[in-house]
Amino acid sequence: MLRYLLRRLLYVAPICLGVTLIVFALVHIAPGDPISAILPDDASAEMVAEARREFGLDRPLPVQYAIWLGRAAVGELGTSIASGRSVSSELSMAVGNTVILAVSAGILACVLGVLLGLVAGLARDRFADHLASFVTLSGVSLPHYWVAILLVIFFSVENQWLPPLGIGPDTSDGWRPDWAHLQHLILPSIATALIPMAVIARTMRAAVIEALDQDFVTTLHAKGLLPGRRLRHVLRNALPTTLAVTGLQLGNMLGGSVLVETVFAWPGTGFLMANAIFQRDLPVLQGSMLVLSLFFVGLNLLVDLLQAATDPRIRRA
């Protein structure tokens, strides 16, 4: 297992380097000049040149990338063009808020997805299977930002059951584990978990059906093994595939939280990134994209290790 871990870490290093290069290139090839967002329209050429020197935008792109990469390696992501604060301080609170939303939505998506997929697979071609398939197909088909708007209309505007916006009842950006703050987490978690839950459920259903069709299940049944113990063997064969898809979906959930966080005004990295796009705040946009991308890489590494722990065949491959 240790050798497998070291091998995966060796694969991750060049991926992380490639991520930094793509993030830097995508931000800089976008149209528009970030300096125009902070200077008046009648700014002189000297003012524009001074601002570009201040933010390091007058240097060649390879030099800018090397400087940015060196600072990012030690946690220094530059200064926000819009606010003048360090990007690290802007991201510190936003990342924590996004992690809170992602963890709650991820737990909801995994639990419901595995349960729905398991029920659908065990009840193949029966009513429970058709009902679960309808739920998962609806989850995949409905845009999560549209569902978020519907949730706000029904639960907040029409019935006043749950708060529609923000992270808590006060004006702070922090979240605390109490009922007042938990109410603000319910609707964003449901909207964020919808698509991952549906994909996990459909994958789990296919994996369970494939495992049930294997000869070893027939052998276990012929030997008189109890249904609960047979189910445990089926799950051990179905979980590795489901774990791989789960890791991808949780990573996509981090990136897809931009629209959901915007709808609910949830002060996470997605909300911060949306504001940075409108303000052409390149340092904040770069930092947000880099953090989300590295989260995705780390999450996939964790899923690889979990797969290897549950399936010895992967470690021996």
Among residues 205, 171, 163, 181, the alpha carbon closest in space to that of 104 is found at: 181
* Mean of pLDDT over the chain: 78
pLDDT in tens, 205-221: 888 887 777 666 666 66
pLDDT computed for residue 41 by the predictor: 64
Q: What are the backbone dihedrals phi and psi of residue 86, each rounded to the nearest 5 degrees, phi first?
A: -70, 145
Helix (H, G, I), strand (E, B) or coil at 307: helix
* DSSP-assigned beta bridge partners for residue 156: none
- Quote the tokens at residue 195: 């698509």
Indicate if the pLDDT at residue 315 is higher than 60.
no
Q: Give residue 32's pLDDT.
A: 62
Domains of the chain as residue ranges with CATH: 92-279 (1.10.3720.10)
* Residue 183 predicted with pLDDT over 80: yes
Q: Look at residue 162 and tell me whether its pLDDT is greater than 60.
A: yes
Q: For 24-57, give the DSSP string.
A: HHHHHHSSS-GGGGTS-TT--HHHHHHHHHHTTT
Identify each DSSP E strand in 34-193 by its residue range.
Answer: none
Q: What is the pLDDT at residue 227?
A: 59
The amino acid that residue 22 corresponds to is I
Tokens of 52: 């570009």
Instruction: Tell me the DSSP string of 255-273.
Output: HHHHHHHHHTT--SHHHHH
- Dihedral (Cα; 56, 267, 278, 248), 10-degree rounding: 90
pLDDT tens digits, one per residue of 273-282? 888 877 777 7
Cβ neighbors of 70 (< 8 A, separation 6 or more) are none
Q: What is the per-residue pLDDT for 216?
A: 66
> Rounded mean pLDDT of 181-193?
87
What's the pLDDT score for residue 176?
A: 75
Residue 118's pLDDT band, with cuts at 50, 70 and 90, is confident
Percent of the chain's residues with pLDDT above 70: 80
Distance CA 235, CA 178 (A): 35
Rounded mean pLDDT of 284-289? Answer: 82
Distances (CA, A) of 10 to 3, 102, 301: 11, 27, 11
